[in-house]
Chains A and B, each alone.
Chain A
Amino acid sequence: MSQTQQEQAFGQHLDDLYAEASHWHVNTGKETIHAKRVGGRFRTLKWWSSAVWLAFFLGPYLRWDGRQAVLFDIPSRQYHIFGATVLPQDFWMLSLLLLFFAILLAVVTATAGRVWCGYFCFQTVWTDLFTLIEEKFEGPPQARRKLDAAPWSEKLRIKVPKHLVWILIGMVTGASFVAWFTDGWAMWGQLLRLELPPVAYVTIAVFTAFTYVFAGHMREQVCFWLCPYARLQGVMYDRETILPTYDLKRGEPRGRVRRGDAVSEQGDCIDCRQCVAVCPTGIDIREGQQEGCITCALCIDACDAVMDKVDRPRGLIRYASYDELEGQPQPVPWKRPRVIVYAIIMSLALAGIVYGLSSLSTLELNVLHERQPLFVQQGDGSIQNRYTLKLLNKTPEELQVTITATGLPELVLVGAEEPIATAPGRVTTVVVFLRVPGERLPEAYSPVIFEVVAQGDQAIREAVESVFVGPG
């Protein structure tokens, strides 16, 4: 390469760099994005995925055994999920559940991009609903832009009802949230008679405010500047992640279709800007994958419709990975190490939850060994240990519980000669002692097993291993 060629190439690089930077548009919400609504495959898919949120609104009204099917009863520290009652003691399962969903987010994002953002996120779904309402009141994007520019005297009449509907949706959202924590059917009456506790009204007010501001006013700004997950998910992409992508090789150089230009030097992109017009976050997908893209795929619908009209094959914008566009072979998702590792973690978390839910005991026992002193020598030379037993009765009735201890020869249990009465849903504390003749103690630390059995129902039992400490 000659000197001049090098200089030319360098200049070209520099120009490219500036050209790239020149159309960087930082969306700080200065201008409201009015996205055009078009139909298509992904639009339909989006309706179905949004419908998942109907469960949020309708879930509280399901009944099970004469009470709410799913109820988070905070005052009595009980969580009813259909037949199961989960108490705070079982909440290790919640951490597994969170782990499961965190990894699910990772595996889905690594495979198919921001599926959560584009199809399921409440911000996306509520914004979609809010803009739909906006369109019903104010018309298509062009009309809305015109209305925005109009003087207040003109637009007030149209704008006010829209805002009222938005606020109403916010309120219903808040009330539906509250319904998960109290009897859903009874709540509405209490709500209107102002009989709910203040915290319920504060919750509804907060939800109303946030729904109205986030979905009505901030919209894509939340994804750009507030949501940490939006930024987090970008780093989970790799070369094999399929994303809504503009096929640069096929599309460029882009340009308007001119009649009579039979043989054209142009690419398939006719620069109609439909992909930009429909984008709810106001980006241009043709500039490549970027932080603003929530991978909702609405641009694919728009582009496909245009391609059909100009009689070119669909898929100028399509779900494609970086490797695919580069002509690299594309492995099947389940052969990718990331997917396999994620799947293993998810299965473990899920197995833990299934195990936890299936083994929810109705009588729970916690054994706390006294630490100071660890053991005491009695007058006859025997060694005594003190234990505090915490019995949690998860049945709805009072239980008479017998306590036994095993694990050492000549072990004597003191303090639980009579059955212990345990009130339902409460923790009963019992102080007991274990005593072993000194010479029968083989080790400084010996395992002992406490077992509790409900009288009258042998199936209600629980055994817990603890330790017996001696001088060794």
Chain B
Amino acid sequence: MTDETNAYDAADTGHVWDDNLRELTNPPPRWWTIAFHASWIFVVIYGILYPMWPTFSGYTKGVIGWTSIGEYKESVAQLEEIRGPFEAKIAQLEPAAILADRELANYTDASVKVLFGDRCAPCHGAGGQGNPGYPVLADDVWLYGGTADKIVESIVNGRQGMMPPHASRFSDQQLDDLATHVAGLADGKEHEAGKVLYTGAGACFACHGMDGKGNQALGAPNLTDRVWRFDGSLEGIRHTIAYGVNAPGVPETRNAVMPAFADQLDETEIKKLAVYVHRLGGGQ
């Protein structure tokens, strides 16, 4: 008959408490012992293979020469190997040629998205959807031209809008008339008194054209489309006419400045950004 409280007949340590609880000398379970020895053997092997112990002048290097920065660089090199052929092609091609190659264009979209997010999205929005006071890039309305080359030009040199203020020259009634005329252009409606000012004293036609279709060479917006550079309400249009754009000494003036990126981005980056912007929805 085996002792039910001492199934393996282990020796007694003599330590007894609470009347009848005895401490025996059962060995730890076999699996535990194996795991214990496997653990320290693992540590020793690991220490031989990998960097492990600090020394006075550095650390033990390990025989296989692994480093975390080395592993990182290897991963980067792998990435570069995939990207390399695309980047080489992009560097040689004109933006229009990149746009014509679907695979290259898709690669550009994917690879320059982060740069767009860093440099362009703060003003133009993450998807080029624009922000109040900053133009939408995803539509087909372009102040300075929507071809890839023109977009490159805008990124390289930046852009600065310019429209003189008219508040000092026109009466409130004249400003109202002119604003009403301009606001109606998209619907083909004209305002008699406003039209006179547009084609006459206001000299609006000089930049925006007799037909109001604007002039991309000057960055003068088309007034006959549905997209407004600034606030498109009657009140907003009147404000723009009264105080102009980037008018010196006029605190209420509209601001329209895009910085030049020539010094900040390299040629390929600018090219890729232009392709990306072109593909947002309105490239020409």
Chain A residues close to B by CB (< 8 Å): 22, 28, 30, 370-373, 376-381, 384, 386, 420, 428-431, 433, 438
Contacts and interface: CB of A to CB of B under 8 A. Distances in A.
A378 B140 contact: yes
15 contacts: A22-B4, A373-B125, A376-B129, A377-B139, A377-B227, A378-B140, A378-B282, A379-B140, A379-B141, A379-B225, A381-B186, A429-B102, A429-B106, A431-B106, A431-B109
B218 interface: no
B127 interface: yes
Of B140, B226, B279, B280, most A-chain CB atoms within 10 Å: B140
Nearest to A433: B281
Interface bracket on B:
20 to 34
Contacts of A378: 139-141, 226-227, 282
Given A384-B281, A386-B281, A376 B106 contact: no
A380 B225 contact: yes
Given A378-B139, A384-B138, 9 more contacts: A30-B8, A377-B139, A378-B282, A379-B226, A384-B140, A384-B281, A431-B105, A431-B106, A438-B226
Nearest to B110: A429
A28 B29 CA distance: 10
A373 B138 contact: yes
Contacts of A380: 225-226
Nearest to A18: B4
A395 B213 CA distance: 50
B126 A372 contact: yes
B136 interface: yes
A376 B226 CA distance: 11
B226 A381 contact: yes
Interface string B208-242: 00000000000000100111000000000000000
Of B138, B222, B282, most A-chain CB atoms within 10 Å: B138
Contact of B139 (A371, A376, A429, A431): A376
A1 to B, nearest CB: 32
B127 A430 contact: no
Contact of A376 (B102, B109, B186, B281): B281
A224 to B, nearest CB: 13
Interface of B: 4, 8, 29, 102, 105-106, 109, 125-129, 136, 138-141, 186, 222, 225-227, 279-282
A378 B102 CA distance: 24
B227 to A, nearest CB: 5
A428 B138 CA distance: 23
B134 to A, nearest CB: 13
Nearest to A373: B129
Contact of A379 (B125, B128, B222, B280): B222
A366 to B, nearest CB: 14
Contacts of B127: 370-373
Nearest first, the 10 closest Cβ-Cβ pairs linking A and B are A373-B129, A372-B127, A379-B225, A381-B226, A379-B141, A376-B138, A376-B139, A429-B106, A378-B140, A373-B127
A438 B227 CA distance: 13
Nearest to B226: A381
Contacts of B8: 30
Contacts of B226: 377-381, 438
Given A384-B281, A430-B102, A372 B129 contact: yes
Contacts of B136: 373, 376
B225 A384 contact: no
A379 B213 CA distance: 11
A272 B127 CA distance: 82
A433 B283 CA distance: 12
Contacts of A381: 186, 225-226
Contacts of B105: 431
A468 to B, nearest CB: 14
Nearest to B4: A22
Contacts of A384: 138-140, 281-282
Contacts of B4: 22
A420 B279 CA distance: 17
B271 to A, nearest CB: 18
Nearest to B102: A430
B139 A379 contact: yes
Nearest to B137: A376
B169 to A, nearest CB: 30
Contacts of A30: 8
A386 B276 CA distance: 13
A149 to B, nearest CB: 17
A373 B225 CA distance: 20
A379 B105 CA distance: 25
A384 to B, nearest CB: 6
Contacts of A379: 139-141, 222, 225-227
A311 B282 CA distance: 95
A115 B280 CA distance: 60
B99 to A, nearest CB: 11
A193 B73 CA distance: 33
B275 to A, nearest CB: 11
Contacts of B222: 379
Contacts of A373: 125, 127-129, 136, 138
A438 B106 CA distance: 29
Of A379, A380, A381, most B-chain CB atoms within 10 Å: A379
Contacts of B125: 372-373
A390 B125 CA distance: 25
A379 B226 CA distance: 5
B165 to A, nearest CB: 26
A468 B29 CA distance: 67
